[in-house]
Structure 1
Amino acid sequence: MVAGETSGDLLAGRMLSGLRPALPDAYIHGIGGKHMAQHGFVSDWPMEKLAVRGLFEVLAHYREIKGIQLALRDRLLKERPAVFIGVDAPDFNLGLEAQLKAAGIPTMHFIGPSIWAWRGGRIKKIEKAVSHILVVFPFEEEIYRKAGIPATYVGHPMAEVIPLEPDVSAARAALGLSGNAPVVSILPGSRMSELKYNTAAFIGAAKILLQREPNMRIVVPMAGEKQRQYFQQLLADAGLQDVRVMVTEGQSHTAIAAADAVLVASGTATLEVALFKKPMVIGYKMMGASWHVLKHMAYQPWVGLPNILARDFLVPELLQDAATPQALADALENQLNNVALRNTLEQRFIDMHHSLLRNTAKESAQAVLDLIGKSAPGNVTRVSA
């Protein structure tokens, strides 16, 4: 299995929670993180090596990433695993999957690339690369089946993990937050490249909010120690070494559950915020050259998953030059104080949650077993993911 970032690790971990009981002796390895490791997964390379986003940012790391891909390919061609499972990370996984499938190794891709949002031409590449694709949004199954690609809608794992009624009081207690002061959580991204481009504007917005509401508390969950240290240094550089700003390692769901509103970078985290039924502002910045290319490749006006699913601008999206500290702070203040808006968002997010709720662990695991055929008890199945 190969998962290229924190969100993919979470998704793959959910799949493995259903797959491991059926294949207790399987050797499951590749590239992944701590959630996969909880189910006996062995990571051959650090997942962080693949956690790079943006066209030109990837180019800077191309040689190393390509070297990893080729080394893994050569190993798997010799090993001939029962199945290779690529978890998201399409730019890395689809090319690898195509070579493995051509060699007769079954391939599965978990989470269909967003061909409905941009780069729709990739569906031909996907057809050549995958034996079966698992999709997490209801409308995707028909798209892939019409293209002749076996597909199964398994629901979104986060819809199971996140409760329909989050416990705000418990989350605040877990973070040591007390009183009735407003709480804003800030999620600038899990990749170092995202922190590099998003943090300055996000910190600037936090400073403005704290000036307007001195009792406010800011919670910033970081994906790992490296990210936490980097963010705290940027806080210090911005002169925001403030007791009202709490930076945690992990605990992103606790931070979201505790919040009155969330400032979040575009990506899977936006859906997590929606499933916690929280008002949000989506902000995102990237290298200027990447932005000028990508903004002309989109098929629809939305980038945030909640807006894409709703087919509407439910929550503000402030991207690139529009993501100024002032604009982000103003939009967040509206999300905090507009009661009618908050009530509307809560109901829309409840409906969204129900539409995405399936037993993803069970259904994704069954799809894997159907693809490879469950081995007899006692036999060792090698699964590369």
Structure 2
Amino acid sequence: MKKDADEETYKARMGQFREKISAMKIRISHLDSLLAKAGFNASDFEEAQKSLQQKNSLYISRLERAAELMRDYIIQEQAKVLSTEKHKPQIGLGAYNANSQYYGFGMSNSENSNVLFSYSGHFKIPEPKAKEMNNQATDLTASIEYINFPFVIQGAKFFPGAKKARIFYKDEELPTAGSFHGFPSLEQYPGYAEWKQQADSLTSGILSPRNLDSLHAMSTGTPTIEVKQPSADTSVAPPKIESGIATQGAPSKSSFGLFKTVLRWTSIGLCATSIGLGLNQNREVAKKNDTKNERYGEAAAAASGDINTYRDKYNAYTTSKEQLKDAENMRNAFYVAAGVFGLAGILTFVF
């Protein structure tokens, strides 16, 4: 849970947490089915179900907060502002205005640089120094501040998310105003539109980290449920459910055969149920994907308008992406469960 890795590692951890949430929801549905067949009376069944629900809710809540923490770690990394060394980019000078002491200029990244930028504006410089420059950019250098959010092209990382330009004349920083421009040449690459939307949100401050820490994953607000541990056996075997019927000695061959029969048809039934749920969840994935595309279009359309509207649309788009991922995990978990139960049923015929 500590902030001790890079963005890709946090993404992998977040994916693992979401997969565990989906798998846990599958297990809960199966446990409810098995619990109903365990032979409890009404009050014991209600008590057992309530206890399981409390424990499962606490577990899922902590997993959700852990995934939320990883997402914030990712945003913390992406929003981090880096800076180039002072260097000589490609600079073109415009006319100098002696009244305002402004020098118009435009600049772009030098060749072989992975920090991409295109900037135009003006810097303020006293007239004597402007004359000293003689309309030449020889003694001008620049430092570019940019966010730690690369756009990857064929495995190579580029950083087009420039945030601020600093101009120096003979190591003296000059007051500068202007703006960065987009890169139409990058639009041909897959994923650039989504990258740009995220980058614009980060550079504008619409999307900013909450600076959560590892305590967030544990602060569920749900009272801690005391889990009673088995007194002796701690192996992988499931805990024994007391039925109130005394047992003595080893199970007979007939009882073992009955167990196999129950396991066989229960496994086959759960396999069929999981397949059905998986197919149904697949339709849900398609709906979530359509919703995600709609939310993306709405956010893109609002990008040039009111900032609050854009923030709401972008947050809705981010939520729809997460909901799509959760739906995909649920579908995959159902199919995996179907395979596991199907194999368990088959093995009862073999052994």
Given the two structures, how large is their TM-score scaled by the length of structure 2?
0.26
Which of structures 1 and 2 has the bigger CA Rg?
2
Given the two structures, how large is their TM-score scaled by the length of structure 1?
0.24
Q: Which has the higher contact order (CA 8 A, sep 6+)?
A: 1
Comparing both structures, which one devotes a greater share of its residues to helix?
A: 2
